[in-house]
A and B are shown apart, each in its own frame.
Chain A
Amino acid sequence: MSTLKIFGIRHHGPGSAQSLRNALATYSPDCILIEGPPEADALLTHVADAGMKPPIALLLYAKDTPKHASFYPFAAFSPEWQALQYGVEQNVKTQFMDLPVAFRFAADLAESAEEPAKTEEPSAEDVDPLAPTEAPVPTVRQDPLSWLAHAAGYTDGERWWEQLVEERGADEDVFAAIFEAMSALREVADADMPPEIWEQRREAYMRKTIRAARKQGFARIAVVCGAWHAPVLQLDSGNAPKIQDDNALLKGLPKAKVAATWIPWTTSRLSRASGYGAGINSPGWYSHLWRYQDSGNLTLASRWLTRVARLLRAEGLDASSAQVIDGVRLAQTLSAMRGRATIGIDALDEAAYAVFANGNPKVLQLISAKLTIGNRLGTVSSAVPTTPLQKDVAASQKRLRMQVSATHKELVLDLRKPNDLARSQLLHRLRLLNIHWGATQQSRGKGTFKETWMLGWQPEFEVQVIEAGRYGQTLAQASGAFVVEKSNAAQNLAELTALLDDTLLADLPDATELLVQRIRDRAAQDADVQHLMQALPSLAHVLRYGNVRTQHQADVAALETVVNGIFTRICIGLPNACRSIADDAAETLFLHLQQIHSAVKLLQNEQHLVQWLATLDQLCAIDSVHALLQGRATKILFDEAQRTSPEVAHQLGLALSDPEITRVTAWLDGFFKNSGILLMHDDVLFDVLDSWFETISEDKFQHALPLIRRTFSSFETGERHNIGRKASGQQRKTQQPKFELDPTRGQRVLDHIAVLLGQMPAATEVA
């Protein structure tokens, strides 16, 4: 009969990992079974590759819908990782034994078919399958050892474990002791509430795998599993479940198609705080423990507080070596006072708080985020099989020398350099696919050639890249195809133009061409002038600035035709759209009017301007156009020097004579909004308005007052004060003396300007 040893471990515990290594070396098994998904067995050959640097995770996803994914994170100090390493080093048969995720995915897929909304976020079980399943007593079931530690009065399960392990000496006794403790715990917990069905299935499958290994003739089998499962996997014990029962549990479960790969993971994802956690509080501290486990306890503590001090210094805070010494002494005294043999992270945190923080809790938060948890991203060997799109993305990152890191970093690109332009395109393409590796920042300094990004890689991006794989084999293909799909679904012109903006940034000529085509078609069919008006500003922007970055002149030319077409349609349709409309519709059009005007100015096309001003002229002439819009049209024409001051005064007088007081105030609002300065300086306009106020009846005045007040509230405070003073007569008729030009002095200035412009002083006439 073969022997079977169960090693109940703590997921991600350096103490566990070290004891397990020692125990495996003593036992020298010929077969190692590890709690993990059997679909990933083929990937186990890669664990010894040079490029594999934990934290990394096994990613399992449903082939058809990669959104359905499970992560199995591993750190260097994970006992499972050490068991895998041992297996490869010693050339021992090593395999996973947990319930295949195919079953779980199939069940989830069936569920999500009924409830499509649920697919967005992975469920709790998807997130952390290595920890025992969620149950009514989560603290006991998720981390039973920690729970025992808390019962013994420790805040840190790892410290409790370490003392338990290191002080007992003989490792195997520890696993025996844990087995006993867990048996007692499970007896109570299972009697209280039987395990959930999926947990039962998982344990049944694990037993099945163990039986199969025995059948294959392995003589010394080692089982590495969460301590919680240890008691029910010992087949040699008297009350082990029967084969028939296990088979009944697993019978007839549907299966999904599953693919697996290794992906980089981050330390912060290992922590409980981030939601994707593997259930440990302080991964940074654990890797510190793992890395310096051979040095003494005091050295460990000194090293840690030195790292704290260096971190604080890097952040510009005060931290001297003297303080480190005091901190170590304090931590040591604290531990001694509490009767602990070793210095734990709780004592170190408290020491850091007392010594470095001066009572500022933010300092402790900083230490926790940067050190105790940390944010390191692991790497995966390039030999690991990946999808073509993943390869393409990784190759581009390498080619463009873009470092993939989980810590947020700023990247400033100069788009005149080809390498930077390519980087920007890569980021924009990923952004199109909703993979937000970089977020655009407000660039300091002007210039369209500069772009600032904030980069931060997250492990889930890998899943999104795999998911995007269905659009194409390369990033350019995939993002292009994605744009096409999105453009098919676009509801209106504005969506299309926004998409075009992004597509141009990503430099996808085929998609751009198609989008321009779509926009032209849509613009021709769209009867609503407002949609066209919405679309024009961003198109104008693209046309004006887009060609700074794209080399494809054809795109620009095509776009110009589209813009011209849309603009002409707007000019034709606008007068009708402004007729007989309600006040709120007029407000919307008022905004559009402004935007179109800025777009026309931006395009710097003489013809456009002429056409546009003619349209505005028309607006002023048609009676049924809303007064608000007429007012604004008059204002624009005045600004563009199409109307003289007396002409405008005449128009103002006409508008004021309207018997309908609301029309009067609307016109005033349209004309004066945000431009109180006009009233301050133009006496002609001021007099017209002022005399109107003097003649108006009391009844009308009361009606008009609130509406006029609304217009005046858009003025600057200073402007309002000046107008008030002018109206009260203080500045009345105290115009500045007529400004006389002195041609000789003017000529001097002009000469200087000419020199500055690089011309020789010329005999320019003063106008």
Chain B
Amino acid sequence: MSTTQLRLSAEEQFAHELDALKAADDGIRPRNWQMSPQSVVTYLMGGETKNGVKISPKYIGNQRLIEIAVATLATDRALLLYGVPGTGKSWVSEHLAAAISGNSGLIVQGTAGTSEEAIRYAWNYAKLLSQGPTREAMVESPLMWAMQEGKTMRIEELTRIPSDVQDTLITILSEKALPLPELRSQVNAEKGFNVIATANNKDKGVNELSSALKRRFNTVVLPPPATMDEEVSIVQQRVVSLGQSLELPNPTPALQEVRRVVTVFRELRNGLTEDGSSKLKSPSGTLSTAEAISVVNHGLTMAGYFGGGDLQAADLAAGLLGAVVKDPVQDKVIWEEYLETIVRERDGWQDVYRACRELVG
């Protein structure tokens, strides 16, 4: 597909996979779903359709978690993806919506300024003044569309929304209806309507969910990748696909470099070297897999435009420094300690050490 769009949505990028899954699907489809729950799991976890089309894995990790998530949506319970930043919550939510409803674009982006109108409906005041309260004067929210069309809608960063606004969702999730008191009517949700919310538990400025709202969600916690290999393959795969959409000169990173970046991230995140021999201090940032992806991506760009084309340690150094040192004083000390005690001593890591050392000064 040739396009000038910076980033394609999931249903556009993986249209052929979705089509193949739909064509080969013989499971029972819940009403208004594009495919059976089993096929949704296959779409997320990767595999092969019955007619031999390869499906790339979108989520690398525990299949059981995805099964719980899909089964939750199939029982018309709302799904809450919960966890530390950068573990792929929004990514999973986008692909779930794409596979189930064929539309991952029904989004409410949660911020501290998200109002009740953004979740329910607002008014076109010009029309409201001239026509009075009518459906035409109403500005519908993505939630309202999703209800009417029986689709999955997404709420990003639910915990950033102020608590009183969050609670708007309670009635909608339990009654599956949105009252329109001004029109003396209500919108009833079609079968297939559901909500996927993502939320951080470890960040500044989050609003805890009320227990009434919590009870209306099934919670799935997405953990950081369990093993080194899992994380390397996540980074590798994402960098390759990002490279494609950004049209970078050299989209294939050397596996060795990816491995080194992931090692640095894992070691600092866990506060322990991969061989378990020495303890480390952890910096203040979360050092998520998503950040590792952007470090490698950044390195590739540097190598492609300014370097020799091959990804070198020097190209990664700046990205690493930026990802690790979030607090200019404390994190810098931690980073230097790590460089001096671990990186310097490690066989074959001299280039990384030199490149990083140069930047730290």
Contact = CB atoms under 8 A, between A and B. Distances in A.
Contacts, number: 54
A88 interface: no
A351 B219 CA distance: 10
Contacts of B68: 330, 334, 350-351, 353-354
A612 B201 CA distance: 65
Given A330-B68, A337-B37, A337-B41, 4 more contacts: A333-B75, A337-B38, A353-B68, A359-B219
Interface in B204-226: 211, 214-215, 218-221
Interface residues on A, range: 10 to 19
Contacts of B71: 330, 333-334, 337
Interface in B36-76: 37-38, 41, 64, 67-68, 70-72, 74-75
Interface in A150-198: none
Interface in B261-291: none
Interface in A659-717: none
A329 B72 CA distance: 9
B77 interface: yes
A65 to B, nearest CB: 42
A345 to B, nearest CB: 13
5 contacts: A318-B215, A333-B72, A333-B74, A337-B70, A359-B201
B77 A326 contact: yes
A266 B67 CA distance: 35
A333 B75 CA distance: 7
Contact of B214 (A329, A330, A358): A358
B82 interface: yes
A517 B201 CA distance: 67
B215 A357 contact: no
Q: Which 5 A-B pairs have the closest CB atoms?
A: A333-B71, A354-B218, A359-B221, A334-B71, A329-B75
Contacts of A337: 37-38, 41, 67, 70-71, 74
Interface residues of B, number: 22
Contacts of A351: 68
B67 A334 contact: yes
Nearest to A350: B68
A323 B215 contact: yes
Contacts of B220: 354, 359
Contacts of B70: 337
Contacts of B64: 350
A338 interface: yes
Contacts of B75: 326, 329-330, 333
Interface in B106-130: none
A326 B218 contact: yes
A644 interface: no
A329 B41 CA distance: 18
A322 interface: yes
A657 interface: no
Nearest to B69: A354
A479 B71 CA distance: 61
Contacts of A359: 82-83, 201, 219-221
Interface in A311-352: 318, 320, 322-323, 326, 329-330, 333-334, 337-338, 350-351
Contacts of A350: 64, 67-68
Contact of B215 (A322, A330, A334, A338): A322
Nearest to A318: B211
A665 to B, nearest CB: 40
A115 to B, nearest CB: 33
A684 to B, nearest CB: 52
Interface of B: 37-38, 41, 64, 67-68, 70-72, 74-75, 77, 82-83, 201, 211, 214-215, 218-221
Interface of A: 318, 320, 322-323, 326, 329-330, 333-334, 337-338, 350-351, 353-355, 357-359
Given A318-B211, A326-B77, A350-B64, A333 B219 contact: no
Nearest to B220: A354
B246 to A, nearest CB: 34
A685 B214 CA distance: 68
A357 B68 CA distance: 14
A351 B201 CA distance: 21
A355 B218 contact: yes
| Most chain B CB inside 10 Å of its own CB: which residue of A323, A333, A351 | A333
Given A326-B77, A337-B41, A337-B71, A320 B218 contact: no
Contacts of A330: 68, 71-72, 75, 77, 218
B35 to A, nearest CB: 13
B173 to A, nearest CB: 11
Contacts of B83: 359
A435 B218 CA distance: 47
Contacts of B215: 318, 320, 322-323
Contacts of B41: 337
Contacts of A338: 67
A355 B201 CA distance: 17
B92 to A, nearest CB: 14
| Most chain A CB inside 10 Å of its own CB: which residue of B67, B70, B82, B215 | B215
A358 B67 contact: no
Contacts of B221: 359
Contacts of A322: 215
Nearest to A155: B64
| Most chain A CB inside 10 Å of its own CB: which residue of B75, B82, B201, B220 | B75
A354 B68 CA distance: 8
A318 B77 CA distance: 18
Contacts of B201: 359
A333 B218 contact: no
A398 B201 CA distance: 52
B214 A333 contact: no
A491 B18 CA distance: 82
Contacts of A357: 219
A291 to B, nearest CB: 27
Contacts of A326: 75, 77, 218
A333 B70 CA distance: 9
Nearest to B214: A358
A354 B72 contact: yes
Contacts of A318: 211, 215
Nearest to B201: A359
A361 to B, nearest CB: 8
| Most chain A CB inside 10 Å of its own CB: which residue of B68, B82, B219 | B68
Contacts of B82: 358-359
| Most chain B CB inside 10 Å of its own CB: which residue of A320, A323, A337, A338 | A337
B100 to A, nearest CB: 13
Contacts of B67: 334, 337-338, 350
Given A330-B75, A333-B71, A354 B219 contact: yes
B343 to A, nearest CB: 33
B37 A333 contact: yes
Nearest to A337: B37
A354 B19 CA distance: 31
Nearest to B64: A350
A359 B68 CA distance: 13
Contacts of B72: 330, 333, 354
A391 B201 CA distance: 57
Nearest to B30: A333
Contacts of A354: 68, 72, 218-220
A359 B159 CA distance: 14
A327 to B, nearest CB: 9
A515 B74 CA distance: 75
A351 B64 CA distance: 11
| Most chain A CB inside 10 Å of its own CB: which residue of B71, B77, B219, B221 | B71
B248 to A, nearest CB: 37
A354 B221 CA distance: 9
A338 B41 CA distance: 10
Nearest to B74: A333
A323 B218 CA distance: 9
A61 to B, nearest CB: 42
A195 B132 CA distance: 88
A289 to B, nearest CB: 22
